[in-house]
Structure 1
Amino acid sequence: MNDGRVDGSGADGRPLDVAVVGLGFGADFVPLYADHPHVGRVGLVDSSPERLAAVGDRYGITDRYTRLDDVLADDRWDAVHILAPVAFHAEYSLAVLRAGKHCACAVPMATELDDLRAIVAAQRESGKNYMMMETSAYGREYLLAEEMYRAGELGALTLYRGYHIQNLDGYPDYWQGYPPMKYITHALSPLLALTGSTVADVTALGSARMSEERTAHFGNPFPTEVGLFRLRDSDVVADITMSFFQIARSYVEGFSVYGDQRSLEWSGVPDEPMRMFELLPLGPQGRGRSARETELEPPDFASRLPEALARYVRKYTLTPADGGPPVTKVAGHGGSHPYLVHEFVSSIVERRAPAIDAATSAAWTAPGICAHESALRDGERVPVPTF
């Protein structure tokens, strides 16, 4: 772990002090911040004293809080990374920005359009950075697709398919009945990142009907939602399937991107190779063109990271600070976590907007909100606002 400070890391000549809020999923990000060469102090925030103690002892973190308000009132903290449940994302993001601190937040940015607008406005008023930490735009599968697309190897994009299927039975109550499309960013963002475009409008339908006991919290009647998304600055249509309930399928999350020269399909299974299809010349019979299929192992692109973070893109071993036995952990979401941390920290240090800034975050989140509205309106086309 990085116990010292690095001169000149922050905008005022000192390293950044970062607080991590929510230590369920958020615990995985603690060692990344602790090891980042431009981060000094790391703080922990969680409403559970037991979890706070366990994570703090494991990583040797002494700055611990049970209330976010205490971090916001303390001028020592430069930035906050929110990994609390979705229902708190908008409220906490607004509080962080209004307190004059940089804000990173797990997906989604928010679940209502008005909250997206409020966060974008708060970011502009504060002058601080906001970044939605979208894993799918930094996973090794996306990085490979991006490299090939930028090099012209895919040709012109012609179709995109994204999907996120995950059974949420047994998850906390605040997930039960959650509208699947309102968690769309993992499935849709790779296309928006590739093209630099945004969604103009969407037509979506709900598939099947939610069981009665699941509809109370959100009033959502659909366990599965399927949508077609039309882009503003591209002729590509995105075909997205989102499903969280009543489907006999193990967890899968991924995308396929098709071009007029080559295409990439990803099974959505971590560490499985991608399949590349290369269109072959028209055969002698002149009836259709076949494609050559090969498997591609996405590289880690770890050279893009500081040396201290490179090991976190694959399975890694941690030695707990409390003297416990070494723990081996799997790098989640295609090894994207260190890239996200590095981009957020670097954007602050370099005094620039992050790659997924507030306006981009809103543009990547809003289509799912509009898609759910379209499904509730039986497939009516719904325009997506700009930010």
Structure 2
Amino acid sequence: MPEIQLGAHTLRSHGVKVARTHMHDWLILLLLVVIDVILNVIEPFHRFVGRDMMTDLSYPLKDNTVPFWAVPIVAILLPFVIILVYYFIRRDVYDLHHAILGSSQSLIDFIVLIPDVCMCCIDVITQQIMIDTGLLFSVLITGVITDAIKDAVGRPRPDFFWRCFPDGKGVFNNVTTDVMCTGVKSVIKEGHKSFPSGHTSWSFAGLGFLSWYLSGKIRAFDRRGHVAKLCIIFLPLLVAALIGISRVDDYWHHWQDVFAGGLIGLTVASFCYLQFFPPPYDIDGWGPHAYFQMLAESRNGSESYNNMNCLNVRQSELQSVYIDSQHQNVLNRDTSPILEGAEGERRH
């Protein structure tokens, strides 16, 4: 039985096993994607917006400082690249999977059959397709919670007046004084999704998870007092905070929206990280739970293998002793007539 080598558990050696074990996680991720798409399609609650309320909702309509397409790059792709770099350094598929969920079982089964010459290239391609378990769970759960609250609350954005009345001429109901928007329907729909901030929640979900991940990998809480490690941990959180601040500066969100979004994202990121990894201050905080479980199972298997070897050796020894004794008895029986004849001649 070969000894267990830390860092020797690659996609090629353990990828299929990890993928099959977490098949249900993939299904849940797919379900979260479907739910989030539905939440973005349905119409949000149209909260009453009276004439007197327009004072706080008449900020100018501006473009995004951080565009929508940039959020997945910062919140998902950046942590993914860092996790992937760590995999190349350590070559541990358990850490990669629980920081990254595989793309499909059929792909992994196909890769296992690829000749050894091409395996390094295929590993790289597969890792690029792999999607982060903890990271994606963090971002998708945050997205579902954020969009569900957005649709339920229907809070108007600070620039709602210009979304509702692009020409600057307000139209209100004579009885209820509620707004009667004349703008583009899709723009008005987006104007009812102020609380909480999706940019902020996604950023804190992805970058917050990255901060947890880095704190475990660099062992920030090893009681040696290296403040530089804390600076590394706080850097992703600072980026997430600046993204949230940009939402207030662009008049797309109230400060309460940004605060709630950051709280949601960071809370979900913490739960998702601790689901797969020990706390960073733990002695085993550098690796995922499944990795140490695998090591324990391997050690148990090694002990069982050694015990079986001992039993086999003992059985072999007993069999050899039994065969030797039987052989000695046969020799004794074969030689006894000769000895008796020799003794009889001596007597005569």
* TM-score, normalised with respect to structure 1: 0.22
- Hey, which of these two has a bigger chunk of helix by percent? 2
* TM-score, normalised with respect to structure 2: 0.24
- Hey, which of these two has a bigger chunk of strand by percent? 1
Larger radius of gyration: 2
